[in-house]
């Protein structure tokens, strides 16, 4: 393979006009190829080395290669050969024949390399001149330019602090004057109003955005800390606030615009008046046909159709607690949640469009009911919406007396009006189970008054939603993002919220931008995963469409600065502000972000705590980790806020244990200052007060006692031009405890090569340090992902460690797991890299890696 490379480049060079030139081009290419190849072989030597001293020698040689002229390559190769030769004999002496075989193979590779390098060198010494200059000098310069900066050798000892700050400080980006001029929050006096000494009364400003049936007497009741109660004594109805109250001024304005996935179907507009009619009729149905009352729970398992917000708002109208399970989840997953919440009614749909297919969704209802029954919960009624009313899209039979078509039932409730039930502010509005594929799901219970106030306030100031905006959050309503920032926040503010049924790249990567253009979307909101994916499959697509966003959001994961910049310059056309919003299912709304007209953006950092949120980073012993120290720690919120969940449904101990016990010094205290909220995320705070979220505390790889944020490593890999997605996972290692293995997928049209692997290696070494150098870079066709698009690092980590990958049935692409496993494990076995059997703790750690529960 190696020996063929010069021949290939010679052949390629043959297309150039003159023989001299061809030869010159071929030589430059060969030189580059050989430099890259030697670097890769040295990387293999490092990986195969048994001692740190040997790793260091190989590393030094690698540095030399980067800057060596071609004439020096044979000599470097000879020294590398001596090094690996010595290792070979040591392995043989130890009786480790597998390692010996692998090292011997590297020797052979090197020998072949030496021959090629010599040949090239001979050619070069014949002193051929190219038109316009000395070829050797040109070759050298070209090689230097294309190889980029030679990394400085780093000190052997790298402190944790140094590693934490290795993610280069990024430049600031400012909002345009045009954006500032129209922003809801453009007067810095707002920071004063939300200053810490104004807590908790500052949040009246958010609550005052709502219409209350009766005003509250206590803004924050801490008597049963940390089970916080907000706006106690106040009463309101969430549906009234999102629908009825807008009728007076905006009756015929679009509340929702629904975009079906099939592009042949036109978008459907639902005005506030129409929404009002639908929630009233459905409320009559839920009340009279299902007998539901305030405080009852109902499970929803619905896709991205307007009927979903209709159902949620209807429940809110009656004070019924809804629990929407993400439509992509399996029937079994839905069944556990039915049982946990004690729902007697399930609301679902027969099917929906996804990637061009009309899926059979109703079949999951039968599985869900079966699972719930096994857990002791009977479901009396299943309400089935039909994607095309009047036509049943599922092959699953309707169970007589249990399953009902909603479109048929609704005819009985035409034009009925049901008064909104006035609910106490602290009554639960909904339960949202936190994401993850294993472990018992946690039902995060959210309140009516505090939650609605918080999402309305943050939608107004951080999303900058105005009544006349067309706002599109391309997330699923089945996640907290959709609840807060597709349904409750935007509708409470009386704006127009767009709902899209399908996948972003159906039928192609231009779809989101066509929707934006057609509907005149002004605010766009999505996840880093979607941004990465759209960047991967259609980097030039946004340029083809004439939409104009004033504002864009990212949420859900850390976003790599590279990706952020594409979002800003290509999707946002350099005009839109970006808010990177850090928060969680548990939180109801944003915790960390920039106030778009008043605080500059910084790629890769979410920003400071949002208005009224006072975060702190603590180490394991509870000491504060100061801003600018460069150290990572556990991010906590020192104060409660109105959007925070009230408890884990049915499991208050888990609520206490997971979020509050760790940093509470006095469990009897009723002072909120004694109960910081532990977010279970790692973070670093820069001197400017901006936080960089490193991911869940378990998303950390501990290499030789150094905590490395997977996101930092991945971000470094993403600076390599050819890389589309990257995931770093830990592999149990005898010498260093854990080492990093890197999985990358490439942009379309890029062919996998050792050169790319070498580039990833170099990027990580350069950006973070050799401590983070991956043991192997695996180029894969795709990453295993959840239905919400998060990369399942747990699954990849299990492959790398030869442990059980666990249940992958809820993944979006389960088939990729076997493909990756065969590829990776076969190669590892061939290289003698099958790890010893893991201890129970190690196996548990791998299994939990990157899990969000």
C-alpha 541/C-alpha 504 separation (Å) is: 12
Q: Are the beta carbons of 525 and 485 closer than 8 angstroms?
A: yes
One DSSP character per residue, 19-43 reads HHHHHHHHHHHHHHHHHHHHHHHHH
**Minimum distance, C-beta of residue 667 to ligand WTA, in the bound complex (Å):** 24
What SS3 state is found at 592? strand
398-403 LR contacts (CB < 8 Å, sep 24+): 399/366, 403/365
Indicate the residue among 404 and 663 with the shorter CB distance to ligand WTA.
663
Given the complex with ligand WTA, which of 556 and 615 has the nearer CB atom? 556
φ/ψ region of 830 (left if φ > 0, alpha if ψ in -120 to 50, else beta) reads alpha
In the complex, the smallest distance separating the C-beta of residue 161 from ligand WTA, rounded to whole angstroms, is 21
- Rounded to whole angstroms, the Cα distance separating 398 from 126 reads 84
Least distance CB 710 / ligand WTA (angstroms) = 11
- Closest to 638 (Cα-Cα) out of 673, 689, 683: 673
Tell whether residue 555 is a contact of ligand WTA (CB under 6 A): yes
693 binds ligand WTA (CB under 6 A): yes
**Nearer to ligand WTA (CB atom), residue 556 or residue 561:** 556
Yes or no: say if 556 and 135 are a contact pair by the CB < 8 Å rule: no
Q: Residues for the chain: how many in total?
A: 853
Residue 169-188 contact track with ligand WTA, rule CB under 6 A, x = bound: --------------------
Q: x/- contact string, 474-513, with ligand WTA (CB under 6 A)?
A: -----xxx--------------------------------
Q: Reduce the secondary structure of 216-280 to three states and give it as a string.
A: CCEEEECCCCCCCEEEECCEECHHHHHCHHHHHHHCCCEEEEEECCCCCCCCEEEEHHHHHHHHH
- Contact with ligand WTA (CB under 6 A) among 274, 350, 580, 842: 580
CA gap 324, 312 in Å, rounded: 8
Task: Provide CB contacts within 8 A for 627, sequence distance 6+.
Answer: 685, 686, 687, 688, 689
Shortest spacing between CB 279 and ligand WTA, in angstroms: 26
Q: Which is nearer to ligand WTA, 304 or 480 (CB)?
A: 480
Residue 451 within binding range of ligand WTA, rule CB under 6 A? no
- Say how many C-beta atoms besides its own lie within 10 A of residue 503's C-beta: 17
560 binds ligand WTA (CB under 6 A): no
Decide: helix, strand or coil at residue 504.
coil
Q: CB-wise, 451 or 583, nearer to ligand WTA?
A: 583
Closest CB to ligand WTA among residues 48, 693: 693
Least distance (Å) between residue 36 CB and ligand WTA: 34
User: Which residue among 241, 458, 585, 745 contacts ligand WTA (CB under 6 A)?
Assistant: 585
Closer of 24 and 604 to ligand WTA (Cβ): 604
Q: Is the alpha carbon torsion for 603, 558, 608, 567 positive or negative?
A: positive
In the complex, minimum distance from the CB of residue 6 to ligand WTA, in angstroms, rounded to a whole number: 47
Stretch that binds ligand WTA, among 118-126, 204-212, 579-587, 819-827 (CB under 6 A): 579-587
Comparison of 335 and 436: residue with beta carbon closer to ligand WTA: 436
Radius of gyration of the chain (CA): 29
Nearest to 56, CA basis, from 741, 833, 773: 773
In whole angstroms, give the CA distance from residue 446 to residue 430: 6
d(CA 548, CA 767): 35
CB of 282 to ligand WTA, least distance (A): 28
Choice between 480 and 727, CB closer to ligand WTA: 480
Q: Kindly state the smallest distance separating residue 590's Cβ from ligand WTA, in Å.
A: 9
Q: What are the Cα distances from residue 761, in Å, to 48, 56, 766?
A: 15, 15, 9
Q: Which is nearer to ligand WTA, 481 or 505 (CB)?
A: 481
Q: Does 727 bind ligand WTA (CB under 6 A)?
A: no
Rounded CA-CA distance 668/645 in Å is: 21
Taking CB under 6 A as the criterion, the residue among 336, 535, 696, 738 binding ligand WTA is 696
Any idea what DSSP says for residue 573?
T
Residues contacting 203, CB < 8 A, separation 6+:
219, 220, 230, 453, 454, 457, 612, 641, 642
For strands 381-385 and 403-405, give the pairing.
parallel
Please tell me the distance from the alpha carbon of residue 402 to that of residue 383, in angstroms, as a whole number: 8
Element (DSSP H or E) covering residue 353: strand 351-354
> At closest approach, how far in Å is the CB of 598 from ligand WTA?
19
Give the integer Cα–Cα distance in Å for 318 and 293. Answer: 7
Residue 603 in the binding site for ligand WTA (CB under 6 A): no
Q: Say whether residue 434 binds ligand WTA (CB under 6 A).
A: yes
Which window, 311-319, 581-589, 654-662, 732-740, contacts ligand WTA (CB under 6 A)? 581-589
Phi, psi of 732 (to 5 degrees): -65, 130
Residue 583 as a binder of ligand WTA (CB under 6 A): the answer is yes
Report the C-alpha gap between 83 and 559 in whole angstroms: 41
Candidates 279-287, 496-504, 666-674, 693-701 — which segment interacts with ligand WTA by CB under 6 A?
693-701
Q: With binding defined as CB under 6 A, does residue 712 bind ligand WTA? A: no
Pick between residue 281 and residue 681 the one whose CB is nearest to ligand WTA.
681
606 binds ligand WTA (CB under 6 A): yes
With CB under 6 A as the contact rule, the residue among 500, 582, 659, 677 that binds ligand WTA is 582
Question: Minimum Å distance from CB 786 to ligand WTA?
Answer: 10
Please give the residues from 629 up to 688 whose contact with ligand WTA meets the rule CB under 6 A: 681
**Binding flag, residue 558, ligand WTA (CB under 6 A):** yes
| Three-state DSSP state, 312 | helix
When asked if residue 775 is in the footprint of ligand WTA (CB under 6 A), the reply is no
Of 71-79, 156-164, 393-401, 473-481, the window that binds ligand WTA (rule: CB under 6 A) is 473-481
By beta-carbon proximity to ligand WTA, the closer residue of 434 and 495 is 434
Write out the H or E segment, with its range, that includes residue 701.
strand 700-703
CB of 100 or CB of 690, closer to ligand WTA = 690
617 binds ligand WTA (CB under 6 A): no
How many residues interact with ligand WTA (rule CB under 6 A)? 21
Closer Cβ to ligand WTA, 632 or 739, answer by number: 632
Q: Does 458 bind ligand WTA (CB under 6 A)?
A: no
Q: Does 581 bind ligand WTA (CB under 6 A)?
A: yes
| Contact in structure between 847 and 698 (CB atoms under 8 Å) | no
* 556 touching ligand WTA, by CB under 6 A: yes
Stretch that binds ligand WTA, among 296-304, 344-352, 392-400, 556-564 (CB under 6 A): 556-564
Report in angstroms how near the CB of residue 479 gets to ligand WTA at its nearest: 6
CB of 435 to ligand WTA, least distance (A): 5
List 46, 99, 359, 435, residue binding ligand WTA (CB under 6 A)? 435
Q: Please give the residue ranges that form the binding site for ligand WTA (CB under 6 A).
A: 434-435, 479-481, 555-558, 580-585, 606, 681, 693, 695-696, 852
């Amino acid at each position: 393979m190696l020996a063929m490379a010069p021949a290939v480049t010679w052949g390629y060079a043959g297309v150039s006009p003159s023989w001299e030139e061809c030869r010159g081009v071929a030589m430059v290419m060969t030189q580059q190829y050989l430099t890259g190849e030697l670097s890769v072989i040295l990387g293999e030597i490092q990986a195969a080395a048994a001692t740190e001293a040997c790793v260091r020698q190989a590393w030094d040689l690698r540095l030399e290669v980067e800057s060596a002229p071609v004439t020096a390559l044979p000599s470097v190769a000879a020294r590398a050969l001596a090094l690996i030769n010595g290792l070979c004999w040591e392995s043989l002496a130890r009786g480790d024949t597998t390692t010996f075989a692998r090292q011997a193979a590297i020797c052979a590779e090197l020998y072949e390399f030496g021959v090629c390098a010599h040949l090239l060198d001979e050619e070069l010494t014949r002193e051929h001149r190219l038109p316009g200059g000395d070829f050797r000098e040109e070759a050298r310069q070209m090689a230097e330019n294309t190889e980029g900066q030679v990394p400085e050798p780093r000190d052997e000892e790298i402190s944790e602090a140094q590693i934490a700050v290795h993610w280069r400080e990024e430049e600031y980006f400012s909002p345009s004057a045009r954006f500032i001029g129209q922003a809801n929050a453009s007067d810095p006096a707002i920071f004063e109003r939300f200053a810490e000494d104004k807590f908790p009364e500052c949040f009246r400003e958010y609550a005052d955005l709502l219409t209350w049936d009766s005003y509250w007497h206590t803004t924050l009741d801490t008597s049963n800390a940390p089970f916080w109660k907000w706006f106690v004594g106040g009463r309101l109805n969430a549906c009234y606030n999102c629908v009825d109250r807008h009728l007076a001024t905006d009756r015929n304005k679009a509340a929702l615009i629904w975009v079906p996935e099939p592009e042949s179907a036109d978008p459907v507009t639902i005005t506030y008046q129409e929404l009002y009619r639908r929630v009233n009729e459905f409320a009559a149905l839920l009340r009279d046909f299902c007998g539901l009352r305030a405080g009852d729970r109902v499970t929803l398992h619905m896709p991205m159709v307007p009927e979903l917000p209709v159902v949620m708002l209807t429940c809110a109208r009656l004070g019924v607690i809804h629990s929407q399970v993400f439509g992509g989840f399996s029937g079994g997953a839905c069944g556990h949640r039915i049982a946990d919440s004690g729902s007697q009614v399930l609301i679902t749909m027969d099917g929906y469009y996804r990637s061009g297919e009309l899926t059979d969704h109703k079949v999951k209802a039968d599985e869900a009911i079966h699972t719930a029954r096994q857990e002791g919960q009977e479901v009396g009624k299943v309400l089935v919406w039909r994607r095309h009313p009047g036509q049943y899209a599922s092959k699953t039979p309707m169970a007589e007396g249990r399953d009902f078509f909603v479109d048929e039932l609704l005819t009985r409730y035409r034009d009925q009006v049901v008064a909104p039930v006035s609910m106490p502010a602290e009554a639960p509005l909904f339960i949202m189970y936190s994401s993850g594929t294993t472990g018992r799901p946690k039902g995060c219970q959210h309140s009516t008054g505090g939650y609605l106030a918080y999402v309305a306030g943050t939608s107004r100031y951080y999303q900058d939603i105005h009544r006349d905006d067309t706002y599109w959050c391309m997330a699923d309503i089945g996640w907290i993002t959709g609840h807060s920032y597709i349904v409750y926040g935007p509708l409470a503010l009386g704006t127009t919220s767009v709902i899209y049924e399908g996948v972003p790249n159906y039928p192609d990567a231009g779809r989101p931008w066509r929707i934006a253009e057609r509907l005149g979307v002004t605010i766009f909101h999505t996840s880093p995963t979607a941004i990465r994916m759209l960047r991967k499959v259609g980097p030039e697509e946004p340029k083809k469409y004439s939409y104009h966003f004033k504002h864009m959001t990212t949420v859900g994961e850390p976003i790599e600065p590279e990706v952020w910049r594409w979002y800003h310059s290509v999707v946002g056309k350099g005009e839109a502000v970006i808010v990177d919003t850090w928060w969680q299912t548990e939180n109801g709304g944003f915790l960390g972000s920039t106030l778009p007209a008043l605080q500059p953006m910084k790629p890769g950092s979410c920003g400071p705590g949002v208005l009224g949120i006072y975060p702190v980073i603590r180490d394991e012993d509870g000491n504060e980790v100061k801003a600018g120290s460069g150290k990572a720690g556990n991010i906590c919120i020192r104060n409660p806020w109105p959007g925070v969940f009230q408890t884990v449904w049915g499991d208050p101990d888990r609520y206490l244990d997971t979020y509050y016990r760790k940093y509470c010094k006095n469990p009897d205290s009723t002072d909120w200052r004694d109960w910081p909220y532990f977010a279970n995320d790692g973070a670093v705070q820069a001197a400017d007060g901006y936080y960089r979220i490193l991911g869940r505390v378990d998303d950390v790889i501990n290499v030789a006692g150094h905590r490395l944020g997977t996101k930092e490593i991945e971000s470094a890999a993403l600076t390599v031009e050819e890389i589309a997605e990257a995931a770093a996972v830990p592999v149990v290692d005898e010498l260093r405890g854990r080492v990093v293995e890197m999985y990358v997928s490439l942009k379309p049209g890029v062919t996998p090569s050792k050169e790319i692997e070498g580039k990833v290696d170099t990027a990580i070494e350069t950006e973070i340090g050799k401590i983070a150098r991956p043991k192997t870079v695996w180029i894969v066709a795709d990453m295993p992902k959840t239905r919400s698009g998060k990369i399942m690092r747990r699954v990849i980590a299990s492959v790398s460690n030869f442990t059980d990958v666990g249940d992958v049935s809820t993944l979006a692409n389960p088939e990729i797991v076997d493909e990756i496993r065969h590829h990776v494990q076969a190669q590892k076995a061939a290289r003698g890299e099958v790890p010893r059997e893991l201890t129970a703790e190690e196996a548990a750690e791998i299994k939990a890696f990157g899990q969000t529960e």
